[in-house]
Amino acid sequence: MAARRVAVTGLGVVSPLGNDEADFFDSLQAGRSGVRRLDVPFSERLSTRIGAPVAFDATAYFSPPKLRMLDRVSQFALVAARQAVEGAGPGAFDDHLQRAGVFLGTGMGGGQTVDDGYRALYAEGATRLPPFSVLMAMNHAAAAWIGIEYGLGGPNLTYSTACSSSAVAIGEAWRRIRDGETDLMLAGGCEAPLNLGTLKAWEALKTLATEDADDPSASCKPFARDRSGMVLGEGAAVLVLEEWERAQRRGARIRGELIGYGLCTDSTHMTHPTVEGQARAMALALESAAIDARAIGYINAHGTGTVANDMTETRAIRQVFAAHADQIPVSSTKSMHGHLLGAAGAVELVATLLALERGILPPTINLRSPDPACDLDYISEGARKTSGVDVAMSNAFAFGGTNAVLVCRSGAAAGASQRPD
Amino acid sequence: MSFPTTDHQTFVVLRDLIAKDHAVAPETLTPETPLKSLEIDSLSLIELIFTLEERFDVVADKVPDDLATLGSVADYIDGLIAARPVAIDDGAPAT
């Protein structure tokens, strides 16, 4: 069977920059930050008090009995999935649901439930835990709930490769459709790490950004000389991936085409990234897309704001793109939405697809004084209007060394309005 | 105040709990109301019993599989209350 094309026909996002695609991208375009001092009861116990929280009233989406079965991470995922499914329009989820599945990524799953459970047991001396603790904490709860919600009988898998989890989930879902195993996938990721236990664990790794003395919202500074680390964020993004012909037949609004996926592993160090690994993942993604490196017109960088990543990623981009690297606008939207860990790849792919669709490249904010070792075009002056950017790359690299890169094409460039050749 | 041990009192607590949870008027709920009509399945019943255990300071070893109405749930809890080894002053959860 010839390789099949994969359309993106639905987008859903719950993020520190807003809880639908319009709010999310408007914030990105405006260079608004979702980073802030966390307003949590335990803030005095944190040495790093900044984060990128989601403003979210779960009771607006779920009945009380349902809500009691959902960890915060699954709430995010279900709301993002609902948006994506609604956006996919009529006919998407009506039939052939045995060939439809869910692939999600999450780094830490239902961490709030785990945190609550430990507090009850160890701090409060509880003799028992709430009955849904297992169902809320398990890593694949979110994906399972989504599968149940829409009756999807195909594969339902949860990938956990830290910060590349959802890029892996989307890439693997793309492969399933491309290779003819499924026709329709809800793919994305979710993360809700802003609980005391998870925040303290991250603090201990010494990779979190120091709060900016003048403006807490400006604490994440990817590629800047004064960058001091990453800022944890929470949220979810889910995409509807659909076999191209099926999407065309039902007259779907095609938001873009997923055309390439590169996956490799450093296998050298638990936390330290390598130029070679990141470059290899980008090269593999270009190869699977069967495009020349010069076709890439925008890169949504992993750009965590850590010393190690940003320098490594810059050098990896130079290695892959050679002279063309200077022609590619690159931005780290993490400067605004923070690092969503297992949801990062999905949220950033949504940002990338919307950038192509709107012809506006989101900026890297807080980049006033570039690190000389980071010498690409990071769109530091603010969002950039563009014409003729049709193909873009989204990078996700992870603790553990799993590098995942996705390549997408705008709906317009993919010929969304006419039959493909 | 004595601990509420009659069918009626247990049912009222249960009724009000369910009414709030499902956003329905308490008057619409009777002991004959089927759990199924409230979309309370085997899983949500476990949670409901858990809440009632906390509320009445009782312990259910297993949730019986023949509870089908609100009244049968209230009766089941009343059975547990009657079997409690030590009575306490009120219905508040033990601290």
Site of tokens 């690299």: A397
Size of interface A-B (CB pairs under 8 A): 23
Give the mean pLDDT of A310-330: 98
Confidence bin at B88 (pLDDT 50/70/90): low
**According to the model, what pLDDT value does residue B4 have?**
43
Mutation site for A-interface testing, chosen from B18, B50, B52 by largest number of A Cβ within 10 Å: B50
Q: Name the β-bridge partners of A243.
A: A6
**According to the model, what pLDDT value does residue A1 have?**
57
Cβ contact A64–B47 (<8 Å): no
Give the mean pLDDT of A132-152: 97
**According to the model, what pLDDT value does residue A357 have?**
97
Cβ contact B47–A131 (<8 Å): yes
Mutation site for A-interface testing, chosen from B22, B37, B38, B47 by largest number of A Cβ within 10 Å: B47
Cβ contact B21–A131 (<8 Å): no
Here the tokens at position B82 are 């009657």
For the question of residue A264 being annotated catalytic, the response is no
> Is pLDDT of B95 > 80?
no
Confidence bin at A379 (pLDDT 50/70/90): very high
Confidence bin at B62 (pLDDT 50/70/90): confident
Query: What ipTM score was computed for the predicted complex, to two decimals?
Result: 0.76
* A18 close to A33: Cβ distance less than 8 angstroms: no
Interface contact B47, partner A, CB < 8 A? yes
How large a percentage of chain B has pLDDT more than 70? 82
Q: Letter for the amino acid at A370?
A: P
Query: What is the DSSP-derived secondary structure letter of residue A357?
Result: H
Interface of A with B (CB under 8 A): 63-65, 68-69, 130-132
> Is pLDDT of A111 > 90?
yes
**According to the model, what pLDDT value does residue A192 have?**
98
The closest alpha carbon to A336, from A29, A72, A20, belongs to: A29
> Is pLDDT of A289 > 60?
yes
**According to the model, what pLDDT value does residue B65 have?**
86
Domains of chain A, by residue range, sit at 6-410
> Is pLDDT of B89 > 70?
no
Nearest to B21 among A64, A69, A130 (CB): A64
Mutation site for B-interface testing, chosen from A59, A62, A63, A133 by largest number of B Cβ within 10 Å: A63
Between residues A335 and B42, the one the model is more confident about:
A335
Q: Which of A264, A337, A339, A408 is catalytic?
A: A339
> Is pLDDT of B3 > 60?
no
> Is pLDDT of A110 > 60?
yes
How large a percentage of chain A has pLDDT more than 90? 96
**According to the model, what pLDDT value does residue A85 have?**
98
Interface contact B37, partner A, CB < 8 A? no
Query: What is the DSSP-derived secondary structure letter of residue A121?
Result: I
* A257 close to A411: Cβ distance less than 8 angstroms: yes
Among the CATH numbers 1.10.1200.10, 1.10.600.10, 1.20.1050.10, 3.10.20.600, which is that of B7-83?
1.10.1200.10
**According to the model, what pLDDT value does residue B85 have?**
76
> Is pLDDT of A155 > 70?
yes
Least confident segment among A76-85, A99-108, A295-304, B81-90: B81-90
Q: Is A59 exposed, middle or buried (0-12, 13-18, 19+ CB in 10 A)?
A: exposed
Nearest to A130 among B22, B43, B50 (CB): B50
The closest alpha carbon to A272, from A380, A410, A399, A95, belongs to: A399
> Is pLDDT of B87 > 80?
no
**According to the model, what pLDDT value does residue A278 have?**
98
Cβ contact B46–A131 (<8 Å): yes
Q: Is B62 exposed, middle or buried (0-12, 13-18, 19+ CB in 10 A)?
A: exposed
Residues 48-87 of B with CB under 8 A from A: 50
Give the mean pLDDT of A317-333: 98
Q: CA of B20: which chain A residue's CA is closest?
A: A64
**According to the model, what pLDDT value does residue A419 have?**
44
**According to the model, what pLDDT value does residue A170 have?**
98
Buried (b) or exposed (e) across A109-121, using 16+ Cβ within 10 A? Answer: bbbbbbbbbeebe
* A6 close to A257: Cβ distance less than 8 angstroms: yes
- Hey, what CATH topology would domain A6-410 get? Peroxisomal Thiolase; Chain A, domain 1 (3.40.47)
Note the pTM of the prediction, 2 decimals: 0.93
Buried (b) or exposed (e) across A128-163, using 16+ Cβ within 10 A? Answer: ebbbbbebbbbbbbbbbbbbeebebebbbbbbbbbb
pLDDT 10s digits, A242-288: 999 999 999 999 999 999 999 999 999 999 999 999 999 999 999 99
**According to the model, what pLDDT value does residue B5 have?**
43
Mention every residue, 6+ apart, whose C-beta is less than 8 A from residue A43.
Answer: A37, A49
pLDDT 10s digits, A18-74: 999 999 999 999 999 999 999 999 999 999 999 999 999 999 999 998 999 999 999
Q: What φ, ψ does residue A150 adopt, rounded to 5°?
A: -110, 5
Cβ contact A65–B46 (<8 Å): no
**According to the model, what pLDDT value does residue A415 have?**
84
Cβ contact A63–B50 (<8 Å): no
* A348 close to A396: Cβ distance less than 8 angstroms: yes
